[in-house]
Amino acid sequence: TFDRIQYPGFQDKIMTAEQAAALIPEHANVGMSGFTGSGAPKEVPLALAKRIEELHAQGKEFKIGLWTGASTAPEIDGALAKVNGINMRMPYQSDPIARQRINEGSMQYCDIHLSHVAQFVWFGFYGKLNVAVVEVTGVLPDGRLIPSTSVGNNKTWLEQADMIILEVNDRQSMGLAGMHDIYYGTDLPPRRKPIPMVKPSDRIGEPYLRCDPNKVIAVVPTHKSDRNSPFKPADAEFVQIAGHLIEFFEHEVKKGRLPANLLPLQSGVGNIANAVLAGLNKGPFENLTAYTEVLQDGMLEMLRTGKLASASATAFSLSPEAEKEFTENIDFYRDKVVLRPQEISNHPELIRRLGLIAMNAMIEADIYGNVNSTHVMGSSIMNGIGGSGDFARNAYLSIFMAKSSAKKGDISCIVPMVSHTDHTEHDVQILVTEQGLADLRGLSPKQRAKVVIENCAHPDYRPMLKDYYERALKTAPGKHTPMLLDEALSWHQRFNDTGSMKP
Ligand code: 0RQ
């Protein structure tokens, strides 16, 4: 009766989420679909969490290794972390309960560049993938799968896992069919060939996922919408950040370093990224393109207004209102949007070739241009590196943005030394805060320190940074990247001790 499952061989594999969850063995490595809440399985993980909770109550051990595309939803990370059912989590998370488990030390987390995941699984670096749990929009008569609102690592999970559990979700629009581009041309070294893409809108693969029906052990019909979280409205500081960036792009066009319609945009996750897109939507540039990881509200709006000609990504990440608008107008979006596996959306070869403008948010930067995207005060994970490293290192322009201070001014986001490094000084070209923009291209560390302090630091912290830098310059034995070894992290220590970086 469930007309989305058209492959006859799956009819006798249809079962409940509880029955499917019971088939997952202890200590299995489970590859689940899902990328920022989009296209994540919604029933089997919850049923598995319930099963784990019952087993734990009986004093029995049961944990899984949980691999995904990126962050997921409360039904996966939240539910499984709550029952302490995850032994190793990779490659990205942003769930409050999972974060708490990781930071209290009861759950292992391996934070990985998103473009690395599929190939490292193929290389065998992470051991065997036992089970894939993948949400799809439908199953075709020949057994191929219509992907859902994200692609992520699903191609690899379906190929690598011994057992496959499908969730067929009839809440996902059938209009998604044809939007995906699954590239099957990746091979392992030393047999790799160039990836045949020269424009962000190129389609180089197939619209459906291949699936070996013999590996499918369960098919679970579901009817639940994606976790779609609303964005914070753009406040004055976000708008200022967007303003500085647009002014910079105009300058680069004038100098002949960027074409009039810029270069393909990559925009990170979160509130700042969304505000920058809103700024670009009102800005002077036309006929833009995007080659990015996640399509947020901002990009959808730019497609609607025509500012953005096309967008390539691996997932949607929409607010509930944007999701509704998207579904109602899916025919308008279908030929403008391409969803790809994350190894392609984030591929260094393609990022370098297409010449992306990479714009990602950060937690903090230091005066020399090193960037921390992942850790609070050095030891606590926030989310993870996600795709920011894939893009930053290989982009035409690598931009990092943050408000100059956080937590009501008690934290300076420009510090003498980052408490954790995700992006080194070599991968960071432009820093932007609401205070201004620092163009670090071609500058020595000492020159960088001056523009970062002058242009990006919050006025409350600017004199402290100047004082630190000048003393370092005077007393450090090396004058290349002057540093006071005993003071470089003292601001973070002060915050931990007193609740503020201010003395
Ligand atoms: O905390 O939520 O409690 O208020 O960090 O900060 O300003 O709302 O910014 O939502 O863009 O998130 C880097 C975390 C920024 C994100 C990060 C606190 C601040 C607030 C969030 P509250 P904002 P955003 C490709 C790109 C890594 C992955 C990536 C991220 C909260 O962008 O995870 O780039 N990036 N992927 O108060 C302590 C500081 C702080 C701080 C801000 N210095 N110290 N807390 N905060 N600065 C896409 C994918 O990979 C999917």
Mean local confidence (pLDDT), 393-399: 98
DSSP E strands, 74-158? 86-90, 108-109, 131-139, 145-147
Q: Which atom of ligand 1 is nearest to 362's Cα?
A: 13
| 497-503, Cβ contacts within 8 angstroms, sequence gap of 24 or more | 499/410, 500/410, 500/411, 501/410, 501/411, 501/412, 501/415, 501/461, 502/409, 502/410, 502/460, 502/461, 503/464
pLDDT tens column, 194-224: 999 999 999 999 999 999 999 999 999 999 9
Name the band, by pLDDT with cuts 50, 70 and 90, for residue 230.
confident
pTM value > 0.95: yes
- Looking at the DSSP assignment, which residues form a beta bridge with residue 123? none
Judge if the beta carbon of residue 66 lies within 6 A of ligand 1: no
167 catalytic, yes or no?
Answer: no
The answer to whether 433 and 413 have CB atoms below 8 angstroms apart is yes
Give percent above pLDDT 70 in the chain: 100
Judge if the beta carbon of residue 343 lies within 6 A of ligand 1: no
In three-state secondary structure terms, 407 is: coil
> Residue 78: is its pLDDT beyond 80?
yes
The answer to whether 273 and 360 have CB atoms below 8 angstroms apart is yes
Judge if the beta carbon of residue 270 lies within 6 A of ligand 1: yes
Q: CA 438, 441, 442 angle in degrees (round to 5)? A: 130
pLDDT of amino acid 275? 85
Residue identified by tokens 């029906």 is 213
Closest CA to ligand 1's atom 32: 361
Of the candidates 167, 293, 364, 434, the residue annotated as catalytic is 293
- Looking at the DSSP assignment, which residues form a beta bridge with residue 163? 131
- Measured in Å, residue 270 CA sits from the centre of ligand 1 at 7
pLDDT of amino acid 272? 86
For 414, residues 6+ apart whose C-beta sits below 8 A from its C-beta are 364, 365, 366, 367, 404, 433, 452, 453, 456, 457, 458, 461, 465
Nearest-angstrom CA–CA distance, 212 and 333: 30
The interface pTM score, or ipTM, of the predicted complex is 0.97
pLDDT of amino acid 139? 98
> Residue 1: is its pLDDT beyond 50?
no
- Closest Cα to residue 402, out of 237, 203, 261, 185? 237
Mutate to test the pocket of ligand 1, among 72, 100, 112, 363 (most ligand atoms within 8 A of CB): 363
Nearest-angstrom CA–CA distance, 4 and 136: 10
> Residue 129: is its pLDDT beyond 60?
yes
- Helices marked H in 289-407: 297-305, 320-328, 330-334, 342-345, 348-354, 388-394
> Residue 33: is its pLDDT beyond 90?
yes
For 470, residues 6+ apart whose C-beta sits below 8 A from its C-beta are none
pLDDT of amino acid 2? 73
pLDDT of amino acid 234? 77
Closest CA to ligand 1's atom 40: 363
Closest CA to ligand 1's atom 16: 361
Tokens (6 digits) for 138 = 């439908």
Closest CA to ligand 1's atom 3: 407
The answer to whether 337 and 303 have CB atoms below 8 angstroms apart is yes
How distant is the alpha carbon of residue 385 from its chain centre?
A: 8
In three-state secondary structure terms, 118 is: helix
241 is in an annotated binding site: no
Helix axes 445-456, 462-475, angle to 10 degrees: 160
pLDDT tens column, 283-336: 999 999 999 999 999 899 999 999 999 999 999 999 899 999 999 999 999 999
